[in-house]
Structure formats: structure tokens, C-alpha cells
Homo-oligomer: A and B are copies of this chain.
């Protein structure tokens, strides 16, 4: 079945915001086994919206409309869509009550009268309760065509989609789609594809799709079957084969788990504390770790040692090391990592030093980065040559530092429980 995504919003057409809802919905629909052939964006204009909805209903089975469900006069997605599809509108007492409760819960005393516009729904439509706002989602079915209306703010759209729209869409599919994510770090996209070329070439059901992210490759294994159980059965041996081929390079098989989540999970598992000593990433590495809820249990302190002086004073890097090998060297990275552990009494320190540019000279080659990890009285160090601009080099460095940390913890603590 073919799904089409139609966003309503002048702010998208003016370029004030990017249409990230379309990306989110496309990815979700693809994972559910639907084909998406068109995205469109139209403004808050009745004639153009009417044409756009007609055109979308004509060429697709299901249209998902986002935005334009608010309380102002400009918001007319529901009204226009109901008119095009031939639905009457009437106030829904249940929705009115929910809006009242929502305002009470959020402490708003005055409810302006235009808010009750959001309680009006097409007669016969399914109303999807919105826990994060006042505009409900709507599903309208007629003559074999379906329109799904969702509010524009991603904080409202996403929970409505996963909790109510996805199960509905799944029920329309004759087959069940099941997919499993395998997240790899430490191998490039083309390298990863080469490692599984035979699997990709031979695939029919399940299929393997690869997605490149900064420093990572995500592999999605998707199967179609008559039941979820059967689909899972098809996926399982392929995931097993991927685990065999990629081994420790796989950091997670959980859709939502990020690299920093894995690091914090491992630190907690073994009761370890961590510190960071950053030069060219300047706090970005610590920032990603600290963004994991509960990270404070294992991360107590970090250092941003940009100057040589601070590397010496705070991390006790030898003056002679800096002079002989330079601030960007294997030796300095190692001493930074060791110094971080000794300065804080942490179990582990990960240290980064490198050239992020924009300068690029033979003496200071842009993209040369050393990452060291001091753990269990040993120090591991890796050399990298990254490409891209200043920000890109720093992002890749952060990913590789997290990954080195992950590998070192697993390697050094795998025999402990």
C-alpha cells in the first residue's frame, strides 16, 4: 500500500523550520512495509490545500497530514480535509472534556474560546487522544482511502504515531513486518557492506538495509510474514550471522540505545567511574556522556585541557613529552589519560588530542587525532586520520572515543560479573 505525507505549514514554505516530521514518518512507514512515493508541503491556504489533498488521495491509499490542527483561524487542515472527503463536523464531548482537563493539569486558568475549535471533529472519524497537547489526532476512512491527521509539534506527533497510528497501519497490512536493528561502530559503510555483500546479494526476505551515520553504520534486518512470530523466526538467523561477522564491532541491537548509553550502562554494570581529558573536542565528549540520565553516578569530573600549560598542570603531562613529541601525539594522549585517572581517583580516563582545523599544514595535519584510554593500570591508544570540516572531525572523534571506551571496558572486565 502507498502512503503519502502532506505537511501543512507556511513556516516550512518560508524555510523557518525543516520538515523533520516527513523524515520521521517516512522512516516509520518504511519500517511498517509501506511505500512512500510523495512528500508535499502546502501552506495554510484553503484552495491550495484542497488541491493538494485531492491530488494525494487520488494517487495514494493513505495520506498522513501533519500540522494545521491548532486553535487559530489559520489552522484549517481538519476542516478542509473533511470537506474534500465529505465528512460533517461536530463537537466531540470526550475531546472537549480532555481539553478542559489538559488546561487544568497545565495550570492554565483562562481558556480562550477558540480552543474549543479543537474539540470539533469529523463525524465518523476515529479520534486519537493526544496526551501532550490539545489537538487530537484523527483517522478518516472513505471509499477505500484513508486520511490520518496529526498535530505538527514533534512532541505531540511522535507519541500519537507510535502509540496509535502505527498499530492502526499495521492492521491494514496483510503481512506482518518485523525488523531488528544492528548498530556497528569502528567499520565504515563500504567496509561493512563488503563484509555482507553475499548476504545482501542473496536477500529476498528478510532484507538488510544499511544506513551510514557519523562514525557508525546501522543495519536493519526486516522480514515480512503472516505472523510476528514467523517474521521474528526469519530475522533471527540473519542477526545471528551479522553478530558472527561483526563481533565486538556491534555496540547495540536496541533501536533506541546510543553509543553513550552503552558506555554508561557498562560503567554502571561494573561499578566504574570515568573521567575525560579533552583537547580538541573541548567538552563535547563529556557533554554526550552527561546527557545520559543517571550518568552522574559514574561521571564526576572532566577536564578540558586545551593549552600545553593546562595539560602539564592539570594532567601532569611531562614537559619533555610535549617538547619531544608535541601536544598531538600518542605519548601525550597516553600521559593525559593516565594524568586524568590520578587527578580524580577515577577507574578510567579517556583522553583526546588532535588537530580539528581549519588550518591544515604538514606540521599540524588536520584530522590527525589520538585517543587514549587508561583502564586497569594499562593504557590503550589509537591513531585516527579524519576528514571533513572542524565540526565533522570533532564529531567523529567523540564517536571513536566512546567506542574505544566501550571496547576497553568489555575487554578488561569481560571476566568479571
A27 in contact (CB, < 8 A)? yes
CA distance A15 to B5 in the complex (A): 11
CA distance A285 to B29 in the complex (A): 37
Instruction: Name the CB-closest residue of B to A309.
Output: B300
A12 in contact (CB, < 8 A)? yes
Residue in A281, A306, A310 whose Cβ sees the most chain B Cβ within 10 Å: A306
Residues of B within 8 A of A211 (CB): 16
Residues of B within 8 A of A276 (CB): 283, 304
- A306, B314: Cβ atoms under 8 Å? no
A26 in contact (CB, < 8 A)? yes
- A40, B43: Cβ atoms under 8 Å? no
Residues of B within 8 A of A314 (CB): 301
A265 in contact (CB, < 8 A)? no
- A300, B290: Cβ atoms under 8 Å? no
CA distance A394 to B293 in the complex (A): 13
Interface residues in A1-55 by Cβ distance below 8 A to B read 12-20, 22-30, 36-43, 45, 48, 52, 55
> Which of B28, B36, B390 lies in contact with A291, CB distance below 8 A?
B390
- A283, B278: Cβ atoms under 8 Å? yes
The contact size tier of chain A is 35 or more
A284 in contact (CB, < 8 A)? yes
Instruction: Name the CB-closest residue of B to A22.
Output: B19
Instruction: Name the CB-closest residue of B to A359.
Output: B293
Given contacts A301-B306, A301-B314, contact A36 B48 (CB under 8 A): no
CB distance from A404 to the nearest CB of B (A): 18
CA distance A314 to B18 in the complex (A): 43
A95 in contact (CB, < 8 A)? no
- B14, A39: Cβ atoms under 8 Å? no
- A344, B310: Cβ atoms under 8 Å? yes
CA distance A39 to B291 in the complex (A): 35
CB distance from A349 to the nearest CB of B (A): 13
Other A-B pairs, 9, CB within 8 Å; known A55-B55, A303-B304: A14-B26, A15-B22, A16-B211, A19-B22, A37-B48, A281-B290, A282-B289, A301-B304, A301-B309
The 9 listed contacts between A and B (C-beta, < 8 Å) are A13-B38, A38-B42, A38-B52, A282-B283, A282-B291, A290-B304, A290-B306, A293-B390, A301-B310
